[in-house]
Amino acid sequence: MKYKAQFVPGSTVISQNRKKYMDPTYKLKQLRSLSDEDIVLVLGHRAPGEDFKSVHPPLDELGEPDCIIRELVEPTEGAKAGDRIRYVQFTDSVYFAPITPYQRAWAYYHRYRGIDTGTLSGRQIIEARERDVEKYAKELIETELFDPARTGIRGRTVHGHAVRLDENGLMFDAMRRYMYDEVSGEVKYVKNMVGEPIDRAVSVGKPLADEELEKMTTMFRADGVSVREDQEVLDIVNAVHWGRTFGGYMSVNREGQ
């Protein structure tokens, strides 16, 4: 019998969005477009036009040992070339950001190969070979997983996801990496991910309207779609909670059920 992955429970728009973002066959909607140079400037791992630095010779020249796993797993482009490990990190505001850190991890694991990702309360880091990082970062910034105002590209001093927004609807950033351009209505990055000034401002487009964000988000909120409206999610959370409470690490042995 062939099963179809459900990814997460639930039928509300929030659950549907979670499923969509996690489903690798779903093509993320592209909302803005940035050049490769823009991405390099914002990430700040290398100067635009500079070659990728490597930590080992390309795999073709390396002469790998005979290994069934190496035959099974196709290396990523970055691994083939021997790139350094680099990262990109996003902060997601609690005020209806398109995606939240935890769901980023779920989505990344379904979509990307050769990565290591880490979740914290307000931010999500993704580590991979340098050219893979650039490819993934481009997709993550250009598509519906990113909002110029509610998502931040931040390597350090990430604080701000739970702070009130400013008057233009921008998430607080202690390093002022991005500015709201009142003339064009766009958000522009004037510093790279770690807060170093960059040669030219990089525009990441106009912030989305609140109504649009509420349709795109994966966040249950009392002032948006409450988790209590989704019975299936509540049932699953309940089952996990009771299994964990009564069974510990052996949830199959739980008492009373």
User: Is position 211 an interface residue for another protein (rule: CB under 8 A)?
Assistant: no
On whether the CB atoms of residues 18 and 103 are closer than 8 A, the answer is: yes
C-beta of 157 vs 231, nearer to another protein: 157
Shortest distance, position 70 Cβ to another protein, whole Å:
46
Residue 117 Cβ vs another protein, minimum distance, rounded to whole Å: 27
79 binds another protein (CB under 8 A): no
Out of 38, 147, 173, 230, name the contact with another protein by CB under 8 A: 173
- Touching another protein, residues 138-157 (CB under 8 A): 157
Residue 163 in contact with another protein, rule: CB under 8 A = yes
Q: Which token pair is 164?
A: 């009130």
Q: Which is nearer to another protein, 94 or 165 (CB)?
A: 165
In angstroms, give the least distance from the CB of 66 to another protein. 54
For residues 114 and 152, which CB has a smaller minimum distance to another protein in the complex?
152
116 binds another protein (CB under 8 A): no
Cα 204 to Cα 207: distance, rounded to the nearest angstrom? 9
The binder of another protein chosen from 52, 172, 242, 246 (CB under 8 A): 172
List Cβ neighbours of 151 (8 Å cut-off, separation of 6 or more). 90, 91, 92, 93, 97, 98, 145, 171
- From residue 1, give the alpha-carbon distance in Å to each of 4, 6, 19: 10, 15, 22
CB 250, min distance to another protein, A: 47
Among 61, 66, 71, 167, binds another protein (CB under 8 A): 167
Q: Which residues of 84-116 are buried (b: 16+ CB within 10 A; e: fewer)?
A: bebbbbbbbbbbbbbbbbebbbbbbeebbebbe
Is residue 174 involved in binding another protein (CB under 8 A)? yes
Among 28, 34, 85, 165, binds another protein (CB under 8 A): 165
Contact (Cβ atoms closer than 8 angstroms) between residue 85 and residue 77: no
Whole-angstrom Cα distance, residue 143 to residue 135? Answer: 12
When asked if residue 175 is in the footprint of another protein (CB under 8 A), the reply is yes
Instruction: Tell me the per-residue interface mask from 47 to 66 with another protein, x by CB under 8 A, - otherwise.
Output: --------------------
User: Cα separation of 144 and 212, whole Å?
Assistant: 11
| All residues at 6 or more sequence positions from 235 whose CB lies less than 8 Å from its CB, including other chains | 9
For residue 220, the minimal CB distance to another protein (Å) is 20
What distance in Å separates the CA atoms of residue 194 and residue 37, rounded to the nearest whole number?
A: 17
126 or 175: whose CB is closer to another protein?
A: 175
Residues that bind another protein (CB under 8 A): 157, 163-167, 169, 172-176, 195
